[in-house]
Structures are given as structure tokens and as C-alpha cells.
Amino acid sequence: MIVLLRAEDLYVDISNVEILRGVSIKANQREVIGLIGRNGAGKTTTFKTLMGFHRPSRGRIYLDDRDITTIPTHLRARMGLSYVPEDARVFPWLTAKENIDLAIYLAKNQDKADEIWERILEVFPEIENFMDRFGYHLSGGEKKMVAIARALATTPKYLLLDEAFEGLAPVVVKRFRDAVRVISQDLGIGVVVAESNVNIATMIAERVYVIERGEIIFEGSSSEVVRNENVMKILRGA
């Protein structure tokens, strides 16, 4: 498989506190991987470091074998990294369509707008039903759809989804699982999902990393992690 994104031995200090300690992950084309950990384990810090919001004190980050460790966040986005934060951040005073069109404009993708909208509606055909609804009036699931659609508007190579399924009903989680498969398999975009819920993560991801106190303590398939009693005890806080 082609490795599009990899981090090697990342150490990150925030306010003189070491948050990440030697984190290494790699993500391949057309693959969905999970980054599983309890709240505060380092999942969001890992994502923000990949995006350039935090500068590692040690370690390197590569995209398409290019070292992007010191490249600014906005240039990483142009190179193909896109991040969907936990809180979605949909603009409430804009409609769903305007939220997505704004992302197309900011990414300077107006010349590809029709193609982008076609891809978005391939993933989330439901958006057509609430195009003109303001962000104020969107449900939690609808906001998540718009947030992911905005990320797709940047035509990414890799999509980082931070706790994207938290608080959603099981039937809605299954719908998003199907959408993630379309994104990875049909659109060819790699997806990394950060999740505290091991059941959701293993339902969506093919391969997982488990992070605990800023360190990767497990790497393997989704089926392997649920059979690892020691890791499962840590994730359940036992």
C-alpha cells in the first residue's frame, strides 16, 4: 500500500508538560485507521500536531514522503490534510449549503465546485434535504455531515476525524460508518478516526492504534485489539 501520511517518534510539550511521548503512526491510501484512547490520552494533540497547530519538540511528520514537520497549517491543508474537530464548528448563521460553499471558496476550489458537490452528495445524499437550513436548526448528525462535507470541499488526500461520532445514536453511527467507507474506498481518501469508544472505533476502522498517556501502547487490527485483555482494561479504566 502507498503510505500517504506518517508520524515518527513525536514528542510534544504544552506549557512545559509532555503530552506526547514517542508517538508513531502511519496511514495508507484507501484505509480507515482508528486512534483509540480515553479522554486526555493524547488523541486530539496528535491530530493537532499532524495539522501543525502544535510543533513537536522531537520527531517528524511526512505526507507523500515529504517532510512537513515545519510547514504551516494552511499549507498542510493545501497539500491534502483536512481536520474535522470534535465540536463540528458549523456556522449557525449560514445555511448548510453556505457553510460548504464557504469552504470551497476558502480552499480556492471554485473551479471544481460542481465536481466537489457531486462527491459530497455521493457521500451524504441527505444534505440535499437540508441545504437551506441554517446551522442553528441542524441536528447533531446533520452538523457532523456538514462538517465532514466542508472537509471534503478542500479535496483532501487524508481526513482526520476527531470524535466525529460522539453522542450519535447507534443507527446514525452505522450511517456514518457507511459514509466513511465511501470516502475511503470510492473517493480514495485515507481516514484517521480518533475515538474514545472502542466499540465505535472497531466498527469503523480496519486497523487501530491505542494511545494512553501520550504513548502508543498497541497497534493491530480491530479484531486483535478487542481480544487483548490488558489493552481493553486500560481503555475501560479498569
Tell me the pLDDT band of 1, cut-offs 50, 70 and 90: low
Which residue would you say has higher pLDDT here, 83 or 4?
83
Enter the pTM of the model.
Answer: 0.91
Q: Is 77's pLDDT higher than 90? A: yes
Which residue would you say has higher pLDDT here, 170 or 187?
187
The confidence score (pLDDT) of residue 86 equals: 85
Among the listed residues 181, 100, 103, the one whose alpha carbon sits nearest the alpha carbon of residue 138? 100
Give the pLDDT mean for 154-171. 89
Q: Is 104's pLDDT higher than 60? A: yes
Among the listed residues 208, 139, 193, 131, the one whose alpha carbon sits nearest the alpha carbon of residue 163? 193
- pLDDT for 209-228, tens place per residue? 999 999 999 999 999 999 99
Give the pLDDT mean for 6-14. 96
Q: Is 34's pLDDT higher than 70? A: yes
The confidence score (pLDDT) of residue 187 equals: 94
What percent of the chain is predicted at pLDDT more than 70? 98
Kind plus residue range of the DSSP H or E element containing 119 = helix 113-123
Q: Is 238's pLDDT higher than 80? A: no
- Tally of CA atoms within 13 A in the half-sphere of 143 that contains its CB: 22
CA distance 43 to 209: 10
In the numeric block, which cell numbers belong to residue 69?
Answer: 514537520
Question: Can you tell me which residue has the cell 476525524?
Answer: 161
* Radius of gyration, alpha carbons of the chain: 17
Q: What share of the chain is helix, strand, coil (3-state, %, to 5)?
A: 40, 30, 30
Give the pLDDT mean for 90-104. 96
- pLDDT for 178-212, tens place per residue? 999 999 999 999 999 999 999 899 989 999 999 99
Tell me the pLDDT band of 237, cut-offs 50, 70 and 90: confident
The confidence score (pLDDT) of residue 24 equals: 97
The confidence score (pLDDT) of residue 65 equals: 86
What average pLDDT is seen over the chain? 93
Among the listed residues 46, 9, 2, the one whose alpha carbon sits nearest the alpha carbon of residue 27? 2
